[in-house]
Amino acid sequence: MPADLNVFPESPCGVLVGRGVDPGPPGVATESQPWRLVPDAVVLNSTARDKSQLFHLAATELQRVYCVDPAVVLRALWRRELAGSTALGEGIALPHARVARIDRPVAALIRTANPIAFDAPDDAPVSLVLVLIVPADGDPDEHLHLLAQATTLLSESHVRERLRNAPDVRTVLRIFAEAPDRTSIEGRDGRR
């Protein structure tokens, strides 16, 4: 875990996202996702060169967009990553963590300009990263279901290719919104 866990600019919100607090603007694809991927939480062509820079960027973006505490997010991401790599293979990673004092899952998508080492099962470097942060006191089965659905979606070669070639954020959001029913990310109770 890097030593600079607490080196973050002051939160524009001044508080953590808590129960009943809206964590950011609506996203284009929210109806098909119980987690929110909004335009401001999509970073294309990031210059992150390693996991440390990538996680720092993810925590900073989640703070900027959803007003979550970046130090808490960063520690949670590293804690999970140290338990085992969140790389899926095929150049994809799905870092995820449970964080206190948020009331719904939130997400960020980061596409790196150059692939980075991520200890993937296929040893392939990673260039597409979907970060999912879920409530610490949420249903663990729901968390696992979200991860399974995200993994299913990102395992589709045509989805990965479209995300890698997406020219802009609007296209990325459209790719998630157009996910076929068999790979859409939905809640365990079937709600969309």
Among 115, 104, 98, residue whose Cα is nearest residue 47:
115
Distance, in Å, from the CA atom of 178 to the CA atom of 174, rounded to the nearest integer, reads: 6
Q: Active site includes 158?
A: no
Give the total residue count for the chain: 192
- Single-letter residue type at 14: G
Which tokens belong to 28?
A: 């284009």
Residue 187 sits at the vertex; the CA angle it makes with 182 and 192, to the nearest 5 degrees, is: 70
Of the candidates 155, 162, 153, 154, the residue with the CA atom closest to the CA atom of residue 180: 153
Task: Name the DSSP class of 176.
Answer: H
Residue among 116, 127, 134 at smallest CA distance from 23: 134
Q: How far apart are CA 185 and CA 180, in angstroms?
A: 10
Alpha helices in 69-119 (DSSP H): 70-83
Catalytic option among 56, 96, 145, 158: 96
**Which residues are known to be catalytic?**
96
